[in-house]
Structure 1
């Protein structure tokens, strides 16, 4: 397959039509997968915010005081309040905030960004990224769209691209019941395709000031395997999350 960045996109602001901007710059093919950074989706959807919009409550002040003491630098309780309001569950609050967003993604600080936001303090993730992907898919007349973000992972250094919303394709393909090269039946292998494509797109998109926020994946074939839209683990089978609920940091 081939991946390439959409060139010369302007700085995105609230109300911009991302689909139209992409269509003006590339001729999409019917089987393309268009990977769009959540950053520009959030900007187009007006998801920028000022810290003053989040007057901190007692819980935010308590967490901010703990983190300030822990790290030796001031933590703004308004930022903590923003994280709390963008989350449905706080899995860790010390030595950093690990939360579940309202659409099921687990990440640090509810995915709130403080970089590349020229006129505001904060950039929040899209409210409903899969609905955003559906709208982009309709506007692009493309078969498949993935909304991407970058996120750290347990047991790994650094961040990688992940999918937080998708449209027009299954999230995973199921290899269970297939055979390996020695004829053994696969019993547990389910491949998270949208995360893998998001990570590949992130290599092309880049980071920081030189980033290009839309990447086209061409000639990717899902194959004839069964798939599903399961992406985020159900709590009942998420043993790491269950353990975190019982864990307290004492470092």
Structure 2
């Protein structure tokens, strides 16, 4: 986006100070957290298309419940695209969301909560959902698409892959054709499908529509995704040692 980089010391000091000021907002309910969102916007008064000379760095805090309080229902999107090779699909910028609004609203009008985007070239491979990275458990193996310049490098995605290794769960990073999901579920094989993200944490997918045909991934309590979620929550809350030094204490 050609925006200036925020110095790390300023970034961390600003977050620490705001959390101190807003500490009474931090909810005590186990399913509620304080959502922290840093962002940068251009602020100069100008008409025209150019890189800005003035920017504002802000941080917002908001008490937040579960982003998806129940399992989500999704559809595989094979007409519209969110991002293409050579673009900025890997960044957290407003334009990436703007491009997704219309097809996402169409999906919601059809009764779905979210879209799973496919690649722009072939429209055959899973990329990510509108608000989270996508993962699957196929034949007891955790599978997720590889990072590219069309997929956001999610922190939670990285954490879940590490936790899976810690728990000796086999992982595989590879392209996932949606036909593979359809074939596995048609054959009656157990397939878990879920999204991972800062707000979503781990959100199980209970229904997926593939070319107007519905399939129902496995979401029972013994699912591997819930083992991963439980482990991440224990680390976040300090109930088990944070061996990877992910937590930042204020």
Q: TM-score category by the smaller chain?
A: under 0.3
With normalisation by structure 1, the TM-score equals: 0.26
Answer 1 or 2: higher relative contact order, Cα 8 Å, separation at least 6. Answer: 1
With normalisation by structure 2, the TM-score equals: 0.26
Higher helix content, 1 or 2: 1
Higher strand content, 1 or 2: 2
